[in-house]
Amino acid sequence: MFTLGFTIPTQVAAAFPLRITIQGQKSNMKQNKIDVKNKTVEDILPGYTKSLLDNIPVEKVDEYLMNRPSYTVQCNLKKHQNIVRLLQKTVNKKLGLKCHHTVDNTNNHILIVSSTRDSSAKHFLHRPKPYFADVQFRSFKTERISSKENDQKMINRLREMLLLPKGSDLKDLLKNENINKEEIDRLKISFAEGYLVAKDQKGNTTKSQKWWKIVQSSLLIGFILSSLISIFVIVTGTMFKIQLTNQVEVNSEEITVTFNDVKGVDEAKQELRDIVEFLKHPSKFSSLGGKLPKGVLLVGPPGTGKTLLARAVAGEAGVPFFHAAGSEFDEILVGQGARRIRDLFKAAKEKSPCVIFIDEIDSVGAKRTNSVLHPYANQTINQLLTEMDGFHQNQNIIVLGATNRREDLDRALLRPGRFDIEVDVPLPDYAGRKQILDLYLKKILSKDIDVDLLARGTSGFTGADIENMVNQAAVKAASDGATTVSMKYLEISRDKILMGPEKKSKIPDEEANTITAYHEGGHAIVAYFTKYSHPLHKVTIMPRGSSLGHTAYIPAKEEYHITKARMLALMDTMMGGRAAEELIFGPDKVTTGASNDLKQATNIATRMVKELGMSEKVGLRTHESQSNEIMSFNDLSPATNELIDNEIKRIMQESYERAKSILNVHHKEHKLLAEALLKYETLDADDVKALLSKKA
């Protein structure tokens, strides 16, 4: 089979669009001239399909074809010159000067010459045998011809799969406003004839061609899928590659921290000294039948020195030390957390005796869940439980865990055989704070520091808070150009931790400053005249942090338990600010400045009623709400809930009335203190005491 086709260029398609397709089979033939005079097309082309050319004289075929927008005829030709001669004149006249192609006939060949190129392009198709020919004259070019008559290549199939834009269809052509009704009818007829011809050609597709197209499409799809899979494997292999570098072995000589660097937690140090001694001299204990504990759990608030204690163990023990964070065992891929646990203990077994330290162990050792949202969440903790005390015993490996959320740990993790020893690391007391202050003050240039006063004034501070306080004091002194760190800088840094960073000046609103002065003065007056309140430390109307003013208190001594009278006194001082606003400016002029005070007072009242049994009506019992991952609930009756709410409301209202009563009695002192705050902005405890004593 062969195909010869040529198309009018795009630039002249609007004027004379034309497409001719000749399709045939090879056969032996000779060039013979036929007399076409007084003969019709049927006479010179016997056996052709009946068409509109019937009974048309040959001399008038070109004129007839010129006046038709579209025409298709299929002929059984014996001599190709006949069809060429029949069409040559018509085609050349149709093209005229509008196209750069012409058609010529040369001895058993059809020659198409391009006149726009320097060297004419000649395409020769030799046909020695009769052939079938389809001849189409169309007044437009359709996408059907280019896509159906030519073999559809792989890129065309890919274009169809990707749904890329195609050429114009009949609907698009009919929407053209410049086409009249007659041209619309001609377009419809032309599209119909073209469709029928394309359908006949499509039916001639062989079975082998269909299978070859299927194979091509399958290969293309397989190539695309394999490429995507390769890219995914490369990316995921880089992101989620399992490495042992997360469990880092630290040589004992690399740790410079010892127990001498840990201050304020003497009891915890003593517990860990026994562990270190066991690691150094195991025979000393095994001779009496003692065994090395499997695990030691360090529990305490953040900043109390749990991680520092673990580092001290590494520095003192002289054995291999492995450390990991609980969050390192969390992975997006299922099963990777358990694998990390196995890899960690496998590396530790090869270096036993050794110590494994897991910081923030609550991240990996949290209570197991039955939630359908996390069906594989228990794999990591189950692997940890097995490694610590499972069927296969790990000899001479001790696990140190640190957490500030013991209540979140699984009960199976806390039993003897896993974490045998639990060491409490509390906030440092007065003696502990003195030791910590001495430790860090030795590292800076200081002068005339009253360590006892600082230790009393830092009640509730952790070791990390004290270290931060000393460091900020040194930074502030260096910024001011001082040669040493004095007491003044330490007090500034302490107040910054207690009350927040101080701004440079008051806000430029006198009314707001007046309200703030009476608000903070209310806190100070109630605290000063309430028996069981904490001693006043400092009161200021300088903005600190997010507040416009602040009143600070420092306990006079260590508190190991809190009485009911102390809790009520704390509530009274918190209510002093709102009570002062109402008494001075009226109920309609109270501000949002008391929001945090009310929140703290509500927490105290709620604990008194629901947890501490300090309400006579509710009684000596606790009422705790239960919760899970989805919702919270309690098992109390509506009547009990109402009783609890009424008691909380009563305690807070009585506290508010006591604060108002104190301010009514000492309204002159209150006014005097507010005016002093507006003038001096900040007053310490001695200033307030001198001011109120002078008034008395």
Q: Where in the sequence numbering do the catalytic residues fall? A: 520
**CA 494, CA 461: separation in Å to the nearest integer?**
10
Residue closest to 356 by CA, chosen among 390, 393, 387: 387
CB 295 within 8 A of CB 420: yes
C-alpha distances in angstroms, 64 versus 13, 37, 87, 219? 20, 17, 12, 50
How many residues are present in the chain? 696
Q: Show the tokens assigned to 343.
A: 């890899």
CB 522 within 8 A of CB 573: no
DSSP 644-665: HHHHHHHHHHHHHHHHHHHHHH
Helices marked H in 399-458 — which ranges? 411-414, 430-441, 451-456
**CA 70, CA 19: separation in Å to the nearest integer?**
10
**CA 516, CA 678: separation in Å to the nearest integer?**
9
**CA 251, CA 249: separation in Å to the nearest integer?**
6
**CA 150, CA 518: separation in Å to the nearest integer?**
93
Interior CA angle at 266 toward 265 and 270, to 5°? 120
DSSP 565-620: HHHHHHHHHHHHHHHHHHHHH-GGG--GGGHHHHHHHHHHHHHHHHTS---TTT-S
* Phi, psi angle pair for 40, to nearest 5°: -95, 175
From the DSSP assignment, how many helices (H) and strands (E) are in the chain? 25, 17
